[in-house]
Structure 1
Amino acid sequence: MKLISINSGYFKLDGGAMFGVVPKRMWQKLNAPDENNLCTWAMRCLLIDTGDRKILVDTGIGTKQDPKFRSHFIPWGQDVFLQDLAAKGYRAEEITDVLLTHLHFDHVGGAIQFNAQGKPEPTFPNARYWSNPLHFAWAEHPNPREAASFLKENFLPLRDWGMLEMIDPSDKDVAWLPNIRLRFVNGHTEAMMLPIIDTPEGTLVYCADLIPSAWHVRMPYIMAYDVRPLETLKEKNRLLEEAVEGNYTLLFEHDPECESGRVERDEKGGIGLK
Protein backbone atom coordinates (compact mmCIF):
# COMPACT_ATOMS: atom_id res chain seq x y z
CA MET A 1 0.00 0.00 0.00
CA LYS A 2 1.22 3.48 -0.91
CA LEU A 3 -0.05 6.69 0.72
CA ILE A 4 0.61 9.83 -1.30
CA SER A 5 -0.48 13.39 -0.51
CA ILE A 6 -1.86 15.35 -3.48
CA ASN A 7 -1.92 19.14 -3.63
CA SER A 8 -5.23 20.54 -4.90
CA GLY A 9 -4.39 24.19 -4.24
CA TYR A 10 -4.89 26.84 -1.59
CA PHE A 11 -7.59 29.26 -0.51
CA LYS A 12 -8.28 31.85 2.16
CA LEU A 13 -10.64 31.78 5.12
CA ASP A 14 -11.28 34.19 7.96
CA GLY A 15 -8.80 33.55 10.76
CA GLY A 16 -11.38 34.10 13.48
CA ALA A 17 -13.69 31.52 11.93
CA MET A 18 -10.89 28.99 11.61
CA PHE A 19 -9.59 29.42 15.16
CA GLY A 20 -12.93 29.87 16.93
CA VAL A 21 -12.74 31.15 20.51
CA VAL A 22 -8.94 31.46 20.47
CA PRO A 23 -8.01 35.19 20.60
CA LYS A 24 -6.48 36.73 17.51
CA ARG A 25 -3.44 37.89 19.47
CA MET A 26 -2.60 34.19 19.86
CA TRP A 27 -3.57 32.64 16.52
CA GLN A 28 -2.09 35.41 14.37
CA LYS A 29 1.35 34.26 15.51
CA LEU A 30 0.60 30.86 13.98
CA ASN A 31 -0.99 31.80 10.65
CA ALA A 32 -0.58 35.47 9.91
CA PRO A 33 -3.72 37.08 8.41
CA ASP A 34 -3.81 39.59 5.58
CA GLU A 35 -5.40 43.03 5.81
CA ASN A 36 -8.86 41.44 5.53
CA ASN A 37 -8.22 38.99 8.37
CA LEU A 38 -7.93 36.11 5.89
CA CYS A 39 -5.43 33.31 6.39
CA THR A 40 -4.02 30.91 3.80
CA TRP A 41 -5.05 27.26 3.99
CA ALA A 42 -4.11 24.18 1.98
CA MET A 43 -6.44 21.64 0.39
CA ARG A 44 -4.46 18.44 0.76
CA CYS A 45 -5.94 15.26 -0.69
CA LEU A 46 -4.72 11.73 -0.09
CA LEU A 47 -4.14 9.00 -2.66
CA ILE A 48 -4.26 5.42 -1.37
CA ASP A 49 -2.77 2.94 -3.83
CA THR A 50 -3.56 -0.62 -2.76
CA GLY A 51 -2.42 -2.13 -6.05
CA ASP A 52 -5.90 -3.18 -7.13
CA ARG A 53 -7.48 0.17 -6.27
CA LYS A 54 -6.45 3.79 -6.55
CA ILE A 55 -8.46 5.64 -3.91
CA LEU A 56 -8.56 9.43 -3.69
CA VAL A 57 -9.72 11.06 -0.47
CA ASP A 58 -11.36 14.47 -1.11
CA THR A 59 -10.90 16.61 -4.20
CA GLY A 60 -10.32 20.23 -3.18
CA ILE A 61 -12.28 23.23 -4.38
CA GLY A 62 -12.17 22.60 -8.13
CA THR A 63 -12.19 25.10 -10.99
CA LYS A 64 -15.92 25.64 -11.63
CA GLN A 65 -16.40 28.69 -9.39
CA ASP A 66 -17.46 32.01 -10.82
CA PRO A 67 -15.60 35.27 -10.10
CA LYS A 68 -17.98 36.28 -7.31
CA PHE A 69 -17.33 33.05 -5.45
CA ARG A 70 -13.60 33.32 -6.03
CA SER A 71 -13.60 36.84 -4.60
CA HIS A 72 -14.72 35.48 -1.22
CA PHE A 73 -12.16 32.69 -0.92
CA ILE A 74 -9.42 33.73 -3.35
CA PRO A 75 -8.51 30.16 -4.37
CA TRP A 76 -5.34 29.58 -6.33
CA GLY A 77 -3.32 26.63 -7.51
CA GLN A 78 -6.35 24.37 -7.99
CA ASP A 79 -5.26 23.93 -11.61
CA VAL A 80 -2.28 21.94 -10.29
CA PHE A 81 -4.55 19.21 -8.86
CA LEU A 82 -4.40 16.83 -11.83
CA GLN A 83 -0.87 17.97 -12.59
CA ASP A 84 0.31 16.95 -9.14
CA LEU A 85 -1.54 13.66 -9.51
CA ALA A 86 0.27 13.09 -12.81
CA ALA A 87 3.59 14.11 -11.29
CA LYS A 88 3.08 11.36 -8.70
CA GLY A 89 2.54 8.87 -11.53
CA TYR A 90 -1.27 8.67 -11.81
CA ARG A 91 -3.90 9.68 -14.34
CA ALA A 92 -7.46 10.72 -13.50
CA GLU A 93 -8.75 7.73 -15.47
CA GLU A 94 -6.89 5.35 -13.13
CA ILE A 95 -8.72 6.47 -9.99
CA THR A 96 -11.12 3.70 -8.96
CA ASP A 97 -12.69 5.30 -5.88
CA VAL A 98 -13.18 8.82 -4.53
CA LEU A 99 -14.04 9.02 -0.83
CA LEU A 100 -15.71 12.33 -0.02
CA THR A 101 -15.23 12.97 3.69
CA HIS A 102 -18.06 15.51 3.48
CA LEU A 103 -19.65 17.72 0.85
CA HIS A 104 -18.45 21.21 1.77
CA PHE A 105 -17.26 22.98 -1.36
CA ASP A 106 -13.55 22.85 -0.46
CA HIS A 107 -13.66 19.05 -0.17
CA VAL A 108 -15.91 18.04 -3.08
CA GLY A 109 -15.57 20.84 -5.65
CA GLY A 110 -12.90 19.03 -7.64
CA ALA A 111 -15.05 15.93 -8.06
CA ILE A 112 -16.71 17.50 -11.11
CA GLN A 113 -15.16 19.68 -13.79
CA PHE A 114 -16.28 21.48 -16.91
CA ASN A 115 -15.28 19.98 -20.24
CA ALA A 116 -14.20 21.92 -23.32
CA GLN A 117 -17.86 22.60 -24.17
CA GLY A 118 -18.53 24.02 -20.70
CA LYS A 119 -20.57 20.99 -19.62
CA PRO A 120 -20.08 19.29 -16.25
CA GLU A 121 -18.41 15.90 -16.23
CA PRO A 122 -16.81 13.71 -13.57
CA THR A 123 -13.16 14.56 -13.04
CA PHE A 124 -12.48 10.86 -12.41
CA PRO A 125 -14.63 9.16 -15.04
CA ASN A 126 -13.96 5.55 -14.01
CA ALA A 127 -14.33 6.03 -10.26
CA ARG A 128 -17.07 5.24 -7.82
CA TYR A 129 -17.70 8.23 -5.57
CA TRP A 130 -18.51 7.49 -1.91
CA SER A 131 -20.65 9.40 0.60
CA ASN A 132 -23.22 8.34 3.19
CA PRO A 133 -27.00 8.82 3.31
CA LEU A 134 -27.10 10.91 6.50
CA HIS A 135 -24.59 13.44 5.25
CA PHE A 136 -25.92 13.50 1.70
CA ALA A 137 -29.43 14.33 2.92
CA TRP A 138 -27.94 16.98 5.24
CA ALA A 139 -26.14 18.55 2.27
CA GLU A 140 -29.07 18.33 -0.12
CA HIS A 141 -31.37 20.07 2.36
CA PRO A 142 -28.95 22.21 4.37
CA ASN A 143 -29.61 24.30 7.44
CA PRO A 144 -29.22 28.08 6.94
CA ARG A 145 -25.91 28.12 8.81
CA GLU A 146 -24.23 25.69 6.40
CA ALA A 147 -26.13 26.39 3.20
CA ALA A 148 -23.34 28.44 1.65
CA SER A 149 -20.91 25.54 2.10
CA PHE A 150 -23.02 23.04 0.16
CA LEU A 151 -22.99 23.86 -3.57
CA LYS A 152 -25.31 21.31 -5.14
CA GLU A 153 -23.61 21.43 -8.53
CA ASN A 154 -20.64 19.81 -6.80
CA PHE A 155 -22.41 16.60 -5.80
CA LEU A 156 -25.97 16.13 -7.10
CA PRO A 157 -24.75 15.27 -10.63
CA LEU A 158 -22.76 12.36 -9.19
CA ARG A 159 -26.03 10.82 -8.02
CA ASP A 160 -27.79 11.64 -11.28
CA TRP A 161 -25.01 9.99 -13.28
CA GLY A 162 -25.27 6.82 -11.15
CA MET A 163 -21.69 7.19 -9.91
CA LEU A 164 -22.44 7.64 -6.21
CA GLU A 165 -22.21 4.86 -3.61
CA MET A 166 -23.42 5.13 -0.02
CA ILE A 167 -21.79 3.81 3.15
CA ASP A 168 -24.05 3.06 6.10
CA PRO A 169 -23.10 5.23 9.11
CA SER A 170 -22.40 3.73 12.52
CA ASP A 171 -21.34 4.90 15.95
CA LYS A 172 -18.48 2.40 15.64
CA ASP A 173 -15.69 2.40 13.08
CA VAL A 174 -16.86 0.78 9.84
CA ALA A 175 -14.68 -1.60 7.86
CA TRP A 176 -14.82 -0.15 4.33
CA LEU A 177 -12.02 -1.68 2.28
CA PRO A 178 -9.15 -3.95 3.38
CA ASN A 179 -7.03 -2.09 5.95
CA ILE A 180 -9.27 1.00 5.70
CA ARG A 181 -11.97 1.78 8.25
CA LEU A 182 -14.14 4.84 8.49
CA ARG A 183 -15.07 6.83 11.55
CA PHE A 184 -18.24 8.92 11.49
CA VAL A 185 -17.98 12.20 13.40
CA ASN A 186 -20.69 14.82 13.84
CA GLY A 187 -19.16 17.91 15.38
CA HIS A 188 -18.08 19.72 12.23
CA THR A 189 -21.06 18.60 10.15
CA GLU A 190 -23.42 15.63 10.10
CA ALA A 191 -21.69 12.27 9.57
CA MET A 192 -18.31 13.40 8.26
CA MET A 193 -16.12 10.38 7.48
CA LEU A 194 -12.50 9.99 8.58
CA PRO A 195 -10.49 7.23 6.89
CA ILE A 196 -8.23 5.32 9.28
CA ILE A 197 -5.63 3.39 7.30
CA ASP A 198 -3.58 0.54 8.75
CA THR A 199 -0.24 -0.07 7.05
CA PRO A 200 2.83 -2.14 7.93
CA GLU A 201 4.49 1.14 8.97
CA GLY A 202 1.65 2.10 11.30
CA THR A 203 -1.77 3.73 11.25
CA LEU A 204 -2.55 6.98 9.43
CA VAL A 205 -5.70 9.05 10.00
CA TYR A 206 -6.87 11.58 7.43
CA CYS A 207 -8.26 14.16 9.84
CA ALA A 208 -10.41 16.18 7.39
CA ASP A 209 -12.07 19.00 9.33
CA LEU A 210 -11.97 17.36 12.76
CA ILE A 211 -8.35 18.52 13.12
CA PRO A 212 -7.82 20.65 10.00
CA SER A 213 -4.28 21.74 10.83
CA ALA A 214 -1.47 20.93 13.23
CA TRP A 215 -2.42 24.04 15.18
CA HIS A 216 -5.86 22.52 15.81
CA VAL A 217 -4.36 19.62 17.77
CA ARG A 218 -4.63 21.92 20.79
CA MET A 219 -7.90 21.18 22.52
CA PRO A 220 -9.52 24.67 22.55
CA TYR A 221 -8.72 25.22 18.85
CA ILE A 222 -12.07 24.36 17.27
CA MET A 223 -13.43 26.10 14.19
CA ALA A 224 -16.40 28.43 14.46
CA TYR A 225 -17.74 26.64 11.37
CA ASP A 226 -18.48 23.51 13.43
CA VAL A 227 -22.19 22.96 13.99
CA ARG A 228 -21.64 21.07 17.27
CA PRO A 229 -18.37 22.33 18.81
CA LEU A 230 -18.74 20.40 22.07
CA GLU A 231 -19.14 17.21 20.04
CA THR A 232 -16.00 18.15 18.13
CA LEU A 233 -14.22 18.48 21.46
CA LYS A 234 -15.19 14.93 22.43
CA GLU A 235 -14.38 13.47 19.01
CA LYS A 236 -11.02 15.20 18.86
CA ASN A 237 -10.08 14.10 22.37
CA ARG A 238 -10.97 10.48 21.53
CA LEU A 239 -8.85 10.49 18.38
CA LEU A 240 -5.87 12.16 20.05
CA GLU A 241 -5.93 9.70 22.94
CA GLU A 242 -5.90 6.84 20.43
CA ALA A 243 -3.16 8.53 18.43
CA VAL A 244 -0.92 8.76 21.49
CA GLU A 245 -1.56 5.15 22.44
CA GLY A 246 -1.20 3.78 18.90
CA ASN A 247 1.48 6.20 17.66
CA TYR A 248 -0.79 7.19 14.76
CA THR A 249 0.27 9.56 12.03
CA LEU A 250 -2.26 12.37 11.56
CA LEU A 251 -2.59 13.94 8.11
CA PHE A 252 -3.77 17.57 8.17
CA GLU A 253 -5.90 18.50 5.16
CA HIS A 254 -5.78 22.29 5.54
CA ASP A 255 -2.41 23.01 7.14
CA PRO A 256 -0.42 25.21 4.72
CA GLU A 257 2.92 24.18 6.24
CA CYS A 258 2.70 20.87 8.11
CA GLU A 259 1.51 17.86 6.10
CA SER A 260 1.38 15.34 8.92
CA GLY A 261 2.65 14.53 12.38
CA ARG A 262 2.44 12.36 15.46
CA VAL A 263 1.37 13.40 18.93
CA GLU A 264 2.52 12.72 22.47
CA ARG A 265 1.45 13.53 26.00
CA ASP A 266 3.43 16.24 27.78
CA GLU A 267 4.40 16.41 31.44
CA LYS A 268 1.16 18.24 32.29
CA GLY A 269 -1.02 15.57 30.68
CA GLY A 270 -1.85 17.57 27.56
CA ILE A 271 -1.41 16.27 24.02
CA GLY A 272 0.67 18.03 21.38
CA LEU A 273 2.80 17.30 18.32
CA LYS A 274 6.03 15.43 18.83
Structure 2
Amino acid sequence: MQRYRLGNLEVFFLQDGAFRLDGGAMFGVVPKVLWSKVAPPDEANRIPLTLRPMLVRVGEKWVLVETGVDDKPGEKHRRIYAIDRSTNLLAALKALGLTPEDIDLVVNTHLHFDHAGLNTVRDEAGRIVPLFRRARYVVQRQELYDALHPHERSRASYLPENIEPVLEAGLFEEVEGEAELLPGVRVVPLPGHTLGQQGVVLESEGQRLVYTADLLPTFAHAPLPYIMAYDLYPVTTLETRKRFYPVWAEEGYLVAPPHDPTYALGRLVLGERGYTLVPV
Protein backbone atom coordinates (compact mmCIF):
# COMPACT_ATOMS: atom_id res chain seq x y z
CA MET A 1 0.00 0.00 0.00
CA GLN A 2 1.22 3.49 -0.87
CA ARG A 3 -0.27 6.73 0.45
CA TYR A 4 -0.23 10.09 -1.32
CA ARG A 5 -1.56 13.48 -0.28
CA LEU A 6 -3.12 15.43 -3.14
CA GLY A 7 -4.19 18.78 -1.70
CA ASN A 8 -6.96 17.94 0.74
CA LEU A 9 -7.51 14.47 -0.70
CA GLU A 10 -5.91 11.34 0.73
CA VAL A 11 -5.05 8.80 -1.94
CA PHE A 12 -4.07 5.20 -1.26
CA PHE A 13 -2.77 2.80 -3.88
CA LEU A 14 -3.71 -0.69 -2.78
CA GLN A 15 -2.80 -4.08 -4.20
CA ASP A 16 -5.09 -6.96 -5.02
CA GLY A 17 -2.30 -9.31 -5.90
CA ALA A 18 -0.40 -9.98 -9.11
CA PHE A 19 -1.02 -11.82 -12.36
CA ARG A 20 0.52 -12.47 -15.76
CA LEU A 21 -0.71 -11.98 -19.32
CA ASP A 22 0.77 -12.87 -22.68
CA GLY A 23 3.40 -10.29 -23.61
CA GLY A 24 2.52 -10.29 -27.29
CA ALA A 25 -1.11 -9.59 -26.50
CA MET A 26 -0.11 -6.86 -24.05
CA PHE A 27 1.89 -4.97 -26.70
CA GLY A 28 -0.08 -5.66 -29.86
CA VAL A 29 1.83 -4.94 -33.06
CA VAL A 30 5.05 -3.96 -31.25
CA PRO A 31 7.73 -6.62 -31.96
CA LYS A 32 8.89 -8.79 -29.08
CA VAL A 33 12.48 -7.66 -29.60
CA LEU A 34 11.31 -4.20 -28.47
CA TRP A 35 8.74 -4.90 -25.75
CA SER A 36 10.79 -7.64 -24.08
CA LYS A 37 13.41 -5.03 -23.17
CA VAL A 38 10.93 -3.20 -20.94
CA ALA A 39 8.81 -6.19 -19.86
CA PRO A 40 10.81 -9.45 -19.82
CA PRO A 41 8.47 -12.47 -20.25
CA ASP A 42 8.48 -15.81 -18.45
CA GLU A 43 8.82 -19.21 -20.13
CA ALA A 44 5.14 -19.04 -21.16
CA ASN A 45 5.68 -15.59 -22.75
CA ARG A 46 3.69 -13.89 -19.96
CA ILE A 47 4.72 -10.60 -18.38
CA PRO A 48 4.25 -9.66 -14.69
CA LEU A 49 1.43 -7.27 -13.83
CA THR A 50 -0.24 -6.07 -10.66
CA LEU A 51 -3.80 -5.22 -9.67
CA ARG A 52 -3.69 -1.75 -8.14
CA PRO A 53 -7.05 -0.31 -7.00
CA MET A 54 -7.05 3.30 -5.83
CA LEU A 55 -8.80 4.44 -2.64
CA VAL A 56 -9.59 8.12 -2.10
CA ARG A 57 -10.75 9.84 1.05
CA VAL A 58 -12.87 12.90 0.29
CA GLY A 59 -13.87 14.47 3.60
CA GLU A 60 -15.85 11.73 5.31
CA LYS A 61 -16.46 9.79 2.09
CA TRP A 62 -14.47 6.84 0.78
CA VAL A 63 -14.20 6.23 -2.98
CA LEU A 64 -12.78 2.95 -4.26
CA VAL A 65 -11.60 2.89 -7.87
CA GLU A 66 -11.56 -0.70 -9.19
CA THR A 67 -12.21 -3.83 -7.17
CA GLY A 68 -9.45 -6.05 -8.55
CA VAL A 69 -9.85 -9.74 -9.24
CA ASP A 70 -11.11 -12.56 -7.04
CA ASP A 71 -11.37 -16.30 -6.65
CA LYS A 72 -14.90 -16.98 -7.92
CA PRO A 73 -13.81 -18.32 -11.35
CA GLY A 74 -11.82 -21.15 -9.73
CA GLU A 75 -8.43 -22.84 -9.92
CA LYS A 76 -8.17 -23.18 -13.72
CA HIS A 77 -8.74 -19.45 -14.18
CA ARG A 78 -6.20 -18.69 -11.46
CA ARG A 79 -3.64 -20.97 -13.07
CA ILE A 80 -4.07 -19.58 -16.61
CA TYR A 81 -3.40 -16.03 -15.46
CA ALA A 82 -0.91 -16.95 -12.69
CA ILE A 83 -3.03 -14.99 -10.22
CA ASP A 84 -1.34 -14.48 -6.84
CA ARG A 85 -3.55 -12.86 -4.21
CA SER A 86 -1.19 -13.20 -1.25
CA THR A 87 -1.75 -9.44 -1.06
CA ASN A 88 -5.37 -8.53 -1.59
CA LEU A 89 -7.88 -5.70 -1.47
CA LEU A 90 -9.76 -6.80 1.63
CA ALA A 91 -6.53 -7.11 3.63
CA ALA A 92 -5.49 -3.64 2.46
CA LEU A 93 -8.81 -2.16 3.57
CA LYS A 94 -8.51 -3.92 6.93
CA ALA A 95 -5.03 -2.47 7.41
CA LEU A 96 -6.62 0.97 7.12
CA GLY A 97 -9.29 0.07 9.65
CA LEU A 98 -11.96 -0.19 6.94
CA THR A 99 -14.50 -2.78 5.88
CA PRO A 100 -16.54 -2.97 2.67
CA GLU A 101 -19.38 -1.28 4.57
CA ASP A 102 -17.27 1.89 4.83
CA ILE A 103 -17.04 2.41 1.06
CA ASP A 104 -19.46 5.04 -0.27
CA LEU A 105 -18.62 4.91 -3.99
CA VAL A 106 -17.10 2.23 -6.19
CA VAL A 107 -15.90 3.37 -9.60
CA ASN A 108 -15.56 0.64 -12.21
CA THR A 109 -13.39 2.05 -14.99
CA HIS A 110 -14.71 -0.89 -17.00
CA LEU A 111 -16.17 -4.27 -16.12
CA HIS A 112 -13.44 -6.74 -17.10
CA PHE A 113 -12.75 -9.47 -14.56
CA ASP A 114 -9.43 -7.96 -13.45
CA HIS A 115 -11.05 -4.60 -12.67
CA ALA A 116 -14.43 -5.66 -11.28
CA GLY A 117 -13.72 -9.05 -9.71
CA LEU A 118 -14.58 -8.04 -6.15
CA ASN A 119 -17.74 -6.25 -7.15
CA THR A 120 -19.29 -9.41 -5.75
CA VAL A 121 -18.46 -12.31 -3.43
CA ARG A 122 -20.03 -15.59 -2.36
CA ASP A 123 -21.89 -15.32 0.92
CA GLU A 124 -22.08 -18.07 3.55
CA ALA A 125 -24.93 -19.71 1.66
CA GLY A 126 -22.92 -19.79 -1.57
CA ARG A 127 -24.93 -17.04 -3.26
CA ILE A 128 -23.07 -14.37 -5.23
CA VAL A 129 -23.90 -10.96 -3.76
CA PRO A 130 -22.51 -7.41 -4.00
CA LEU A 131 -19.55 -6.91 -1.68
CA PHE A 132 -19.92 -3.15 -1.20
CA ARG A 133 -23.58 -3.13 -0.16
CA ARG A 134 -23.70 0.53 0.92
CA ALA A 135 -21.94 1.85 -2.17
CA ARG A 136 -23.08 3.07 -5.53
CA TYR A 137 -21.14 1.42 -8.36
CA VAL A 138 -20.40 4.12 -10.94
CA VAL A 139 -20.02 2.92 -14.53
CA GLN A 140 -20.50 4.41 -17.96
CA ARG A 141 -23.85 3.45 -19.50
CA GLN A 142 -22.09 2.26 -22.65
CA GLU A 143 -19.85 -0.05 -20.62
CA LEU A 144 -22.71 -1.64 -18.74
CA TYR A 145 -24.63 -2.22 -21.96
CA ASP A 146 -21.61 -3.83 -23.65
CA ALA A 147 -20.90 -6.00 -20.60
CA LEU A 148 -24.47 -7.29 -20.62
CA HIS A 149 -24.34 -7.93 -24.39
CA PRO A 150 -20.84 -9.29 -24.99
CA HIS A 151 -19.68 -10.66 -28.33
CA GLU A 152 -17.23 -13.43 -29.14
CA ARG A 153 -14.18 -11.22 -28.65
CA SER A 154 -15.23 -9.65 -25.33
CA ARG A 155 -17.13 -12.50 -23.65
CA ALA A 156 -14.12 -13.97 -21.82
CA SER A 157 -13.43 -10.66 -20.08
CA TYR A 158 -16.97 -9.91 -18.90
CA LEU A 159 -17.97 -12.40 -16.20
CA PRO A 160 -21.71 -12.19 -15.43
CA GLU A 161 -21.15 -13.01 -11.75
CA ASN A 162 -19.28 -9.71 -11.32
CA ILE A 163 -22.04 -7.68 -12.94
CA GLU A 164 -25.53 -9.16 -12.72
CA PRO A 165 -25.84 -9.30 -8.88
CA VAL A 166 -24.93 -5.59 -8.68
CA LEU A 167 -27.50 -4.80 -11.36
CA GLU A 168 -30.18 -6.87 -9.63
CA ALA A 169 -29.48 -5.09 -6.33
CA GLY A 170 -29.96 -1.71 -8.03
CA LEU A 171 -26.49 -0.52 -7.05
CA PHE A 172 -25.17 0.56 -10.45
CA GLU A 173 -25.18 4.31 -11.09
CA GLU A 174 -24.89 4.84 -14.82
CA VAL A 175 -23.28 8.02 -16.14
CA GLU A 176 -22.85 9.24 -19.68
CA GLY A 177 -19.65 11.11 -20.43
CA GLU A 178 -17.78 13.26 -17.95
CA ALA A 179 -19.37 13.51 -14.50
CA GLU A 180 -18.41 14.93 -11.10
CA LEU A 181 -18.97 12.38 -8.35
CA LEU A 182 -17.76 14.38 -5.36
CA PRO A 183 -15.86 17.67 -5.03
CA GLY A 184 -12.49 17.04 -6.64
CA VAL A 185 -13.44 13.64 -8.05
CA ARG A 186 -14.74 13.15 -11.59
CA VAL A 187 -14.85 10.47 -14.25
CA VAL A 188 -13.87 11.07 -17.87
CA PRO A 189 -14.45 8.75 -20.85
CA LEU A 190 -11.25 7.09 -22.12
CA PRO A 191 -12.53 4.87 -24.95
CA GLY A 192 -10.48 2.37 -26.88
CA HIS A 193 -9.82 -0.63 -24.65
CA THR A 194 -13.61 -0.72 -24.47
CA LEU A 195 -16.00 1.91 -25.80
CA GLY A 196 -17.30 2.61 -22.29
CA GLN A 197 -14.00 2.77 -20.43
CA GLN A 198 -13.60 5.72 -18.06
CA GLY A 199 -10.73 7.18 -16.07
CA VAL A 200 -10.82 9.03 -12.77
CA VAL A 201 -9.45 12.56 -12.32
CA LEU A 202 -8.66 13.98 -8.89
CA GLU A 203 -8.12 17.72 -8.41
CA SER A 204 -7.33 19.59 -5.20
CA GLU A 205 -5.43 22.77 -4.38
CA GLY A 206 -3.97 23.04 -7.88
CA GLN A 207 -2.80 19.43 -8.03
CA ARG A 208 -4.15 16.87 -10.49
CA LEU A 209 -4.00 13.11 -10.74
CA VAL A 210 -5.48 10.79 -13.36
CA TYR A 211 -6.13 7.08 -12.92
CA THR A 212 -5.82 5.95 -16.52
CA ALA A 213 -7.56 2.57 -16.53
CA ASP A 214 -6.29 0.44 -19.42
CA LEU A 215 -5.68 3.40 -21.71
CA LEU A 216 -2.22 3.23 -20.12
CA PRO A 217 -1.92 -0.07 -18.23
CA THR A 218 1.79 0.11 -17.25
CA PHE A 219 4.74 2.48 -17.48
CA ALA A 220 6.06 0.41 -20.40
CA HIS A 221 2.96 1.26 -22.44
CA ALA A 222 3.53 5.03 -22.53
CA PRO A 223 4.74 5.26 -26.17
CA LEU A 224 1.78 6.01 -28.43
CA PRO A 225 2.03 2.81 -30.55
CA TYR A 226 2.36 0.49 -27.53
CA ILE A 227 -1.30 -0.51 -27.53
CA MET A 228 -2.64 -3.83 -26.31
CA ALA A 229 -4.11 -6.41 -28.65
CA TYR A 230 -6.77 -6.76 -25.95
CA ASP A 231 -8.09 -3.31 -26.90
CA LEU A 232 -11.33 -3.72 -28.82
CA TYR A 233 -10.81 -0.42 -30.65
CA PRO A 234 -7.02 0.16 -30.90
CA VAL A 235 -7.26 3.13 -33.27
CA THR A 236 -9.68 4.76 -30.82
CA THR A 237 -7.11 4.11 -28.07
CA LEU A 238 -4.53 5.95 -30.18
CA GLU A 239 -6.90 8.89 -30.74
CA THR A 240 -7.73 9.05 -27.03
CA ARG A 241 -4.04 9.06 -26.12
CA LYS A 242 -3.34 11.84 -28.62
CA ARG A 243 -6.14 13.88 -27.07
CA PHE A 244 -5.17 13.45 -23.40
CA TYR A 245 -1.41 12.89 -23.32
CA PRO A 246 -0.51 16.52 -24.20
CA VAL A 247 -2.86 17.81 -21.49
CA TRP A 248 -1.54 15.46 -18.84
CA ALA A 249 2.08 16.22 -19.77
CA GLU A 250 1.81 19.99 -20.12
CA GLU A 251 -0.33 20.48 -17.02
CA GLY A 252 1.80 18.25 -14.81
CA TYR A 253 -0.77 15.59 -13.98
CA LEU A 254 0.29 12.72 -11.78
CA VAL A 255 -0.48 9.59 -13.80
CA ALA A 256 -1.55 6.32 -12.16
CA PRO A 257 -1.64 3.21 -14.37
CA PRO A 258 -3.55 0.23 -12.92
CA HIS A 259 -1.24 -2.69 -13.71
CA ASP A 260 2.40 -1.63 -13.38
CA PRO A 261 4.22 -4.21 -11.24
CA THR A 262 6.65 -1.68 -9.75
CA TYR A 263 5.38 1.91 -9.73
CA ALA A 264 2.08 3.52 -8.74
CA LEU A 265 2.64 7.09 -9.96
CA GLY A 266 4.50 8.89 -12.71
CA ARG A 267 4.51 11.92 -14.97
CA LEU A 268 4.31 11.89 -18.74
CA VAL A 269 7.31 13.44 -20.48
CA LEU A 270 7.55 14.18 -24.20
CA GLY A 271 11.04 13.63 -25.59
CA GLU A 272 12.64 13.24 -29.00
CA ARG A 273 11.39 9.65 -29.26
CA GLY A 274 7.89 10.35 -28.00
CA TYR A 275 6.24 9.97 -24.62
CA THR A 276 7.65 8.19 -21.60
CA LEU A 277 6.19 7.82 -18.12
CA VAL A 278 8.73 8.78 -15.47
CA PRO A 279 8.22 7.38 -11.93
CA VAL A 280 7.40 9.75 -9.08
TM-score by length of 2: 0.92
**Structure 2 residue aligned with 1:52:** 60
Shift of 1:88: 2.9
| Pairwise CA distance, 1:135 | 1.1
Matching residue within 139, 162, 166 for 2:147: 139
CA displacement 1:199-251 (0-9 Å, x = unmatched): 22610000110000111111111000111111101111222101111100000
Q: Which residue of 1 aligns with 2:198?
A: 193
Aligned equivalents of 1:65 and 1:201: distance in 2? 43
Residue 161 (str. 1) matches residue 169 (str. 2): yes
How far did 1:269 drift? 7.0
In 1, the alpha carbon distance for the partners of 2:182 and 2:208 equals 15
1:106 Cα shift?
0.4
Q: Look up the SS of the partner of 2:117 in the other structure.
A: helix
Matched, 1:2 2:3: no
Q: Give the secondary structure class of the aligned counterpart of 2:114.
A: helix
1:24-173 to 2 correspondences below 5 Å: 24-77=32-85, 80-167=88-175, 169-170=176-177, 173=178
Work out whether residues 61 and 78 of structure 1, in 8 Å CA contact, stay in contact via their aligned partners in 2: no
Name the residue aligned to 1:227.
232
Unpaired runs of at least 5, structure 1: none
Residue 248 in structure 1 maps to residue 253 in structure 2: yes
Q: Secondary structure at the match of 1:22?
A: coil
Which residue does 1:270 correspond to in 2? 274
- The CA RMSD measured in Å over matched residues stands at 1.5
The answer to whether the 8 Å contact 1:63/1:79 transfers is no
**What amino acid does structure 2 have at the position aligned with 1:3?**
V
Of the structure 1 ranges 206-215 and 27-36, higher mean CA displacement relative to structure 2 is found in 27-36
**Which position in structure 1 is the counterpart of 2:221?**
216
Q: CA deviation at 1:6?
A: 1.1
* TM-score, normalised relative to structure 1: 0.94
Contact kept? 2:219, 2:260, Cα under 8 Å = yes
Question: What secondary structure does 2:245 align onto?
Answer: helix
- Aligned-residue sequence identity (percent) comes to 36
How many residues are treated as equivalent by the alignment?
270
Return the alpha-carbon distance in structure 1 between the equivalents of residues 193 and 172 of structure 2: 22
Q: Is 1:214–1:252's contact at 8 Å kept on the other side of the alignment?
A: yes
In 2, the alpha carbon distance for the partners of 1:245 and 1:52 equals 32
Partner of 2:209: 204
Q: Distance in 2 between matches of 1:131 and 1:166?
A: 5
Residue 183 of structure 1 aligns with an amino acid whose one-letter code is V
The residue identity in structure 1 corresponding to 2:276 is: G
